[in-house]
Amino acid sequence: MTESFLHYVWQFQYFDKKSLTTSVNESIQVFHPGVRNTHAGPDFSDARIRIGDLEWRGSVEIHIKASGWTDHHHGDDAVYEKVILHVVWENDKPIIRSDGSPMPTLELKDRADLSLWSSYKKLFTSAETIPCSGSFASVPDILKMSMLDKALTQRLQSKANAVLEILNYNQGSWEETAYQLLFRNFGFKVNADPFLQLAKALPYKVIQKHADQPIQVEALLFGQAGFLEIINPDEYAALLIREYSILSTKFNLSDQKLHFSQWRFLRLRPANFPTVRLAQLASLLTNKKSLFNQFIEAESCKELMKQFTVEQSPYWQNHYLFGQETSKAPPLGKGSIQNIMINTTIPLLAAYSVTHDDQHYMDRAVEWLQHIPAEKNIILRQWQSVGCRVKTAFDSQALIELFNSYCQKRRCLECAIGSALIKPVD
């Protein structure tokens, strides 16, 4: 038995409610089981229950055994003074309130349908990464869509919270926040950390002062990234070295400069080398006075896509590394742009919507996700293998959240899909 299963049984009242009584034979009538609490405190709040002749409104606490109340020291916590009913699987110990009165306790062991427990165990112990993979097709589409909407909302909220943490670090500067978020996502998974460190070591306000000078922007980026420690530089590298020497002194940057060893090249395709990504980033930053305004004010996904469609400077069109000429290096690809949009502009819109209490920006974020093709990864291939449609970034982002937050954690009872498979047949 698990507490999460008991939460499910209580929330949906999946037990025999005839002649309900407490452990001391007071009658119980449940008008409303309460609202599930996901934070600290009792498991359900705002429940409405008649016990004996009195109707109560308050919290409900759930344990497998009644002694869990004592084990968790709830009697010493004032928050639990509002508990009006203790729901347990087994009433193994009388619980006394701080005022000396007995805690009203409801035992479910002989009232719950054990077939529900069997169905739940089948999902919970499934060897499949998607526990309901064998039954997924039998769930009505409307329930699937409802759960995907919930998962996407949670993902956008989570991403918004991550942006707000960066915003707090930047003392409320949306420009620096957009800049740092962009850098981190330009590193993709492999070089996300050094790119973010670079953004923090090279403030956007410094780039803005020289945004109309492409060579100076490149000198700042490559120099601060630690790529200009070159023994025999070619003409282009020598120019960057001279520019960076002047600019690093002007803005006191050298103490925070990264080291070449912090960057990863191993097992990356040359087009994904951090040097190439920095060159593309330099082109994106050149002649831009406000990254944040560009992202937040774009009226369409197509317009935003155009903003990200940049070509690196001539040197980096036939170089992957300094001093090593090669065949034509491709510009930032469409798939990479879409990935950056999903992980940079969409979270920014969501965070801006939260801080300004303006649903317009959240709606725009959702709309753009519906116009961006779905990502491709192992999680989404698993969903496709069970017959799930994955066409847009709306689908893929929702399914990634569903997999990470519910399937992997076996939170089937909190998922509309899992709940539909477990609930009793009418």
Alpha-carbon dihedral 81, 85, 91, 96, rounded to 10 degrees: 30
**Ramachandran quadrant class, 351 (left: phi over 0; alpha: psi -120 to 50; beta: rest):** alpha
φ/ψ of 41, rounded to 5, equals 115, -175
Token digits for 353? 């919507």
Q: Alpha-carbon distance 364 to 180, whole Å?
A: 22
To which residue do tokens 């070591």 refer? 201
Q: Is residue 83 within a helix (H) or strand (E), and if so which, with residue range?
A: strand 83-90
DSSP letters along 13-29, please?
T-B--TT-B-TT--BEE
Quickly list H helices, 320-369. 334-340, 346-356, 359-369
To which residue do tokens 């069970």 refer? 386
Q: Which DSSP symbol is given to 114? A: H
Low-confidence ranges of the chain (pLDDT < 70): 425-426
Q: Give the residue among 115, 105, 120 at the shortest CA–CA distance from 4.
A: 120
Residue pair 350/361 in contact (Cβ under 8 Å)? The answer is yes
Q: Alpha-carbon distance 106 to 167, whole Å?
A: 47
Instruction: Identify the pLDDT of residue 330.
Output: 86
The percent of the chain in helix, strand and coil, each rounded to the nearest 5, is 55, 10, 35
Whole-model pTM: value is 0.81
Residue pair 281/221 in contact (Cβ under 8 Å)? The answer is yes
Instruction: Identify the pLDDT of residue 312.
Output: 92
Domain boundaries, the chain: 3-112, 175-338
Question: How does pLDDT run across 367-407, given as a tens digit for each residue?
Answer: 999 999 999 999 999 999 999 999 999 999 999 999 999 99
Residue pair 83/103 in contact (Cβ under 8 Å)? The answer is yes
- Which one-letter amino acid corresponds to residue 143? L
Instruction: Identify the pLDDT of residue 425.
Output: 63
Q: CB-based contacts of 52: which residues, under 8 Å, 6+ apart?
A: 26, 27
Q: Alpha-carbon distance 167 to 248, whole Å?
A: 26
Q: Alpha-carbon distance 112 to 101, whole Å?
A: 27
Helix (H, G, I), strand (E, B) or coil at 60: strand
Instruction: Identify the pLDDT of residue 39.
Output: 81
Q: Which DSSP symbol is given to 48? A: E
Instruction: Identify the pLDDT of residue 92.
Output: 92
Helix (H, G, I), strand (E, B) or coil at 225: helix
Q: Is residue 85 within a helix (H) or strand (E), and if so which, with residue range?
A: strand 83-90
Q: How many CB atoms lie within 10 A of CB 157?
A: 14
Q: Which DSSP symbol is given to 318? A: S
